[in-house]
Amino acid sequence: MLQMHARKNDDTFAKDKLDKVIKQVKKMSTLINGFLNVSRLESGKIHLNKQPFELGALIREIIEDAESSMSSHRLVFEQACQALVSADRDKIGTVLYNLISNAIKYSPKANQVLIKCQVENQSVTVSIRDDGMGIKPDELGKLFDRYYRVESNQMKHISGFGIGLYLSSEIITRHEGTIWAESQVGLGSTFYISLPLAQ
């Protein structure tokens, strides 16, 4: 209501401050939901509502969502695909959004993220590539551990608790899929998720 009032009265100062407040509220909601999901995972109370859906359409939706809240990078869906999967659409969407937002967050000096989707045999693989800071080889294997965060001078100014990739890994594993990353320090990273096609 305050935002609508500010726009109606052309109050740019209030609108700018309210936009920042809402952005922070969304960030806090994401963190709280992340911790709740970790708790649900550990107690075995996270349920998958598997339904057939078209993965390419979901990727486009997530890209639109990310573009509306993170305008610093151009998100390029370089290679689209038509792939029917039987999965929990909301949870797969959460994984995709997390990987795209990470690609933006950890490549502050770059301006684009490349997304590809490829069908091969009985599975579909989505890749999300950034031109960011990259990850050392000895840290790649720990990325999906709970609460693990890469330690570096660049990372000191980037917020996070090390639960996004852990949750993403658990969700993909519970869909009988795989998640992994490839990276070179200073040249960027590519994160992959692979899911079985719907039978």
Digit-coded pLDDT (tens) for 66-94: 887 777 788 999 878 889 999 999 999 99
At residue 12 the predicted structure's pLDDT band, cuts being 50, 70 and 90, is confident
Domain-wise residue ranges, the chain: 1-46, 48-196
Domain 48-196 has CATH 3.40.50.1820: no
pLDDT on residue 18? 84
Q: How many residues does the chain have?
A: 199
pLDDT on residue 152? 54
Q: Which has more pLDDT, 164 or 122?
A: 122
pLDDT on residue 78? 85
E strand intervals along the chain:
51-54, 74-79, 84-87, 112-120, 123-130, 178-184, 188-196
State the pTM of this model.
Answer: 0.77
